[in-house]
Amino acid sequence: MKDAMQYAPWVRIGLRILNGFVGGYNYANDNDAVLIGSLIVGAAIEGAYLLAKRRGWAT
């Protein structure tokens, strides 16, 4: 959980930008949306790292 929260500021900024396009509901102030977004970003980064390690790419 702690690792995912290091991405929270970036996710919050992204959600503010998304909110500008979508309008209406303010996603950046929704803690659940920030947590889910942080988990998705963390999982994507770890997946890319795992793929790079398996293929012998520079990490």
- The confidence score (pLDDT) of residue 13 equals 80
Q: How confident is the model at residue 5 (pLDDT cuts 50, 70, 90)?
A: low
pLDDT tens profile 31-43:
888 888 888 888 8
SS3 assignment, position 36:
helix
Q: State the Cα–Cα distance between residues 4 and 8, nearest whole angstrom.
A: 7
**Contact yes or no for 4/39 (Cβ under 8 A):** yes
List the structure tokens of 41: 């970003």
pTM for the complete prediction? 0.66
